[in-house]
């Protein structure tokens, strides 16, 4: 451990006492943090000379001229400017990480789809080689839409770094613990947490406890934000203070290294002689964060009926059309069901939005069987779906009393765009060919006579 590493460690620990040591609370705050005392200029961004011989550099997450309430940028004070972290680029392929637009010949994305969990890797897979794209939507080149992925990670990236110019990544672990060593600090996450990695942020992913499996929503569009709560008011759902942004941490490491870049759906590699994680101090509002899903405070029906699932939105990425999200990230966690004279599970429906769901753990109330932890379902644009027969019969006939849905956590990536299956999702992943059969035994009850059937 170098003198600087030791100082780094002290700064991370001392920055905040308690369970969130090493993190700063708040969503979209204007943060400031320094790993060495006096590294952060005060009162200005760009002094003639920076302390410690650092270079000042701005990372812009929105156009310079974005409206004030949306404008995001961070000032970094680093050992070398980013231009020294790239050289000549060479193309390379990650055959399982796909981008939109992608419509695979011979594959239909129309229909109800469900997958068993992808097996945990026995071979060595990193964050990059272990990314498996399931669906893509929109167009990465025009910065609309998204992709959904499953990651299977068993090995840490070593002297290898990555950034996506295409996208912001929302990471939803299902198993194992990962470390994201980023330019702006260190995020450790596991199941029941999520992380947001902004577009353009350089990082290395390490396995803390593996093998690891989880889900990624790759957001090509405008950044994730908190949804407006409307008449719910100033509290509940996801609260700003529960988002945690890391304090500054840097590496002064001179070894042969690779930086890999995703740019317009293509992958590029460049070789450098040092670690690019060399930001000693930073301030700004464009930064990675993590969030503990157990702090999400669900709000629901307290007398009758079943609200739209949007009531459980954690994050929303706008599309430019009011109320029509590029992506909503929606959480179905443990909660009380108390509605009277109500069919309590989700109702049958068709939706203009397309819904990709993943199970983190437990049982989902509309599908007691077949949708298992690590598994995925896709109900695409205007494809009908709803409870299976057993869920319908159970919910229609049970004596209604307050009931706790316990030990359950599933989520949805919901987008305004249709989602197209990759070759991998259609042919290699464990798709359940018999999924449609879960509705086969729903019977006709109508016989023309009145009365509850
Ligand atoms: Fe649905």
**CA 391 / ligand 1 centre spacing (Å):** 15
Give the strand order in the sheet containing 31-34: 31-34, 279-284, 73-78, 55-60
Q: Tokens at residue 383, please?
A: 């494809």
Q: How far apart are CA 208 and CA 176, in angstroms?
A: 8
Q: How far apart are CA 182 and CA 205, in angstroms?
A: 9
The yes-or-no verdict on residue 267 having pLDDT over 70 is yes
Q: How far apart are CA 287 and CA 361, in angstroms?
A: 29
**CA 330 / ligand 1 centre spacing (Å):** 11
* pLDDT, tens only, 105-154: 999 999 999 999 999 999 999 999 999 999 999 999 999 999 999 999 99
Instruction: Tell me which of 163-167, 185-189, 365-369 is least confident.
Output: 365-369
Q: Taking ligand 1, which is a single-atom ion, which protein residues have CB atoms under 5 Å away?
A: 355
The yes-or-no verdict on residue 441 having pLDDT over 80 is yes
**CA 243 / ligand 1 centre spacing (Å):** 27
Asked if 69 is an active-site residue, the reply is: no
* pLDDT, tens only, 307-338: 999 999 999 999 999 999 999 999 999 999 99
Q: What pLDDT, on a 0 to 100 scale, did the predictor assign at position 9?
A: 55
Mean pLDDT, residues 4-8 taken together: 56
The yes-or-no verdict on residue 20 having pLDDT over 80 is no
**CA 381 / ligand 1 centre spacing (Å):** 10
Q: What pLDDT, on a 0 to 100 scale, did the predictor assign at position 4?
A: 57
**CA 351 / ligand 1 centre spacing (Å):** 7
**CA 335 / ligand 1 centre spacing (Å):** 19
Q: Label residue 8 by pLDDT band (50, 70, 90).
A: low
Of how many residues is the chain composed?
453
Mean pLDDT, residues 260-277 taken together: 97
Q: What pLDDT, on a 0 to 100 scale, did the predictor assign at position 10?
A: 46
Q: What pLDDT, on a 0 to 100 scale, did the predictor assign at position 364?
A: 85
Give the β-pairing of 55-60 and 31-34. unpaired
pTM for this entry: 0.95
Q: What pLDDT, on a 0 to 100 scale, did the predictor assign at position 14?
A: 44
Q: How far apart are CA 197 and CA 136, in angstroms?
A: 19
Q: Label residue 18 by pLDDT band (50, 70, 90).
A: low
**CA 3 / ligand 1 centre spacing (Å):** 54
**CA 314 / ligand 1 centre spacing (Å):** 17
Q: How far apart are CA 129 and CA 152, in angstroms?
A: 9
Within 8 A by CB and 6+ apart from 318, the residues are 221, 222, 225, 325, 326
Q: How far apart are CA 358 and CA 12, in angstroms?
A: 33
Mean pLDDT, residues 267-286 taken together: 97
Q: How far apart are CA 407 and CA 177, in angstroms?
A: 20
**CA 229 / ligand 1 centre spacing (Å):** 21
Q: What phi and psi, each to the nearest 5 degrees, are found at residue 352?
A: -70, -25
**CA 144 / ligand 1 centre spacing (Å):** 22
| Helix, strand, coil % in the chain, rounded to nearest 5 | 10, 40, 50
Angle among Cα 330, 213, 129 to the nearest 5 degrees reads: 115
Mean pLDDT, residues 268-282 taken together: 97
Q: What is the dihedral of CA 363, 114, 238, 407, to 10 degrees?
A: 10
Q: How far apart are CA 195 and CA 187, in angstroms?
A: 8
Nearest to 27 by CA among 236, 240, 198: 240
Distance spanning both ends of the chain, measured CA to CA: 72
**CA 72 / ligand 1 centre spacing (Å):** 33
Q: How far apart are CA 259 and CA 162, in angstroms?
A: 6
Q: What is the DSSP string of 174-238?
A: EEEEEEEEETTEEEEE-TTEEEEE-TT--EEEEEEEEEEEEEEEEE-SSPPBPPP-GGG-SSSBS
Mean pLDDT, residues 251-257 taken together: 97
Which of 306, 379, 385, 420 is the catalytic position? 306
The yes-or-no verdict on residue 32 having pLDDT over 60 is yes
Residue with tokens 């909660």: 335
The SS3 call for residue 241 is helix
Q: What is the DSSP letter of 445?
A: -
Domains identified in the chain and CATH numbers: 3-108+121-293 (2.60.120.10), 296-436 (2.60.120.10)
**CA 129 / ligand 1 centre spacing (Å):** 31
Q: How far apart are CA 314 and CA 43, in angstroms?
A: 35
**CA 364 / ligand 1 centre spacing (Å):** 12
Q: Which residues pair with 413 in a beta bridge?
A: 329, 356
The yes-or-no verdict on residue 304 having pLDDT over 70 is yes
Distance of CA 161 to the CA centre of its chain: 19
Q: What is the DSSP string of 324-368?
A: EEEEEEEEEEEEEE--SSS--SPPPB--SSEEEEEEEEE-BTTBS
* pLDDT, tens only, 191-206: 999 999 999 999 999 9
The yes-or-no verdict on residue 12 having pLDDT over 70 is no
**Residue 64, number of CB atoms within 10 A of its CB:** 8
């Amino acid at each position: 451990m170098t003198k600087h590493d030791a100082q780094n460690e002290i700064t991370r620990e001392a920055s905040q006492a308690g369970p969130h040591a090493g993190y700063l609370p708040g969503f979209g705050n204007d943060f400031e943090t320094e790993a060495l005392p006096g590294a952060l200029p005060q009162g200005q961004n760009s002094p003639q000379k920076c302390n410690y011989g650092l270079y000042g550099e701005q990372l812009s997450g929105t156009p310079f001229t974005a409206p004030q309430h949306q404008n995001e940028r961070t000032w970094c004070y680093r050992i070398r400017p980013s231009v020294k972290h790239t050289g000549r680029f060479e193309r390379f392929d990650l055959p399982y990480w796909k981008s939109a637009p992608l419509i695979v010949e011979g594959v239909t994305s129309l229909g109800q789809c469900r997958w068993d969990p992808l097996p945990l890797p026995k071979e060595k897979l990193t964050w990059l080689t272990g990314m498996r794209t399931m669906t893509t939507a929109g167009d990465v080149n025009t910065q609309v839409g998204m992709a959904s992925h499953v990651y299977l990670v068993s090995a840490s990236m070593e002297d290898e770094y990555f950034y996506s110019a295409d996208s912001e990544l929302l990471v939803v672990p299902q198993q194992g613990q990962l470390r994201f060593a980023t330019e702006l600090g260190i995020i450790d996450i596991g199941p029941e947490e999520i992380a947001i990695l902004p577009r353009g942020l350089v990082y290395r992913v390490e396995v803390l406890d593996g093998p690891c499996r989880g889900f990624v929503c790759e957001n090509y569009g405008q950044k994730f934000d908190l949804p407006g709560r409307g008449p719910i008011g100033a509290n509940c759902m996801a609260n700003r203070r529960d988002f945690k942004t890391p304090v500054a941490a840097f590496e002064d490491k001179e070894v042969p290294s690779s930086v890999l870049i995703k740019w317009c759906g293509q992958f590029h590699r460049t070789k450098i002689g040092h670690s690019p994680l060399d930001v000693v101090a930073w301030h700004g509002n464009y930064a990675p964060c993590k969030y503990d899903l157990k702090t999400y405070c669900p709000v629901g029906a307290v007398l009758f009926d079943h609200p739209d699932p949007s009531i459980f939105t954690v994050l929303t990425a706008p599309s430019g059309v009011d109320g029509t999200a590029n992506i909503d990230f929606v959480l179905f966690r443990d909660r009380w069901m108390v509605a009277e004279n109500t069919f309590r599970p989700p109702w049958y429906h068709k939706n203009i939005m397309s819904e990709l769901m993943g199970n983190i753990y437990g049982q989902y109330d509309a599908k007691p069987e077949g949708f298992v932890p690590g598994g995925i379902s896709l109900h695409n644009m205007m494809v009908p779906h709803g409870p299976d027969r057993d869920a319908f019969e159970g919910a229609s006939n049970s004596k209604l009393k307050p009931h706790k849905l316990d030990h359950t956590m599933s989520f949805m990536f919901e987008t305004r765009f249709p989602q197209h299956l990759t070759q991998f999702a259609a042919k290699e992943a464990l798709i359940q060919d018999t999924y449609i059969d879960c509705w086969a035994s729903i019977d006709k009850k109508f016989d023309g006579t009145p009365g509850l059937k």
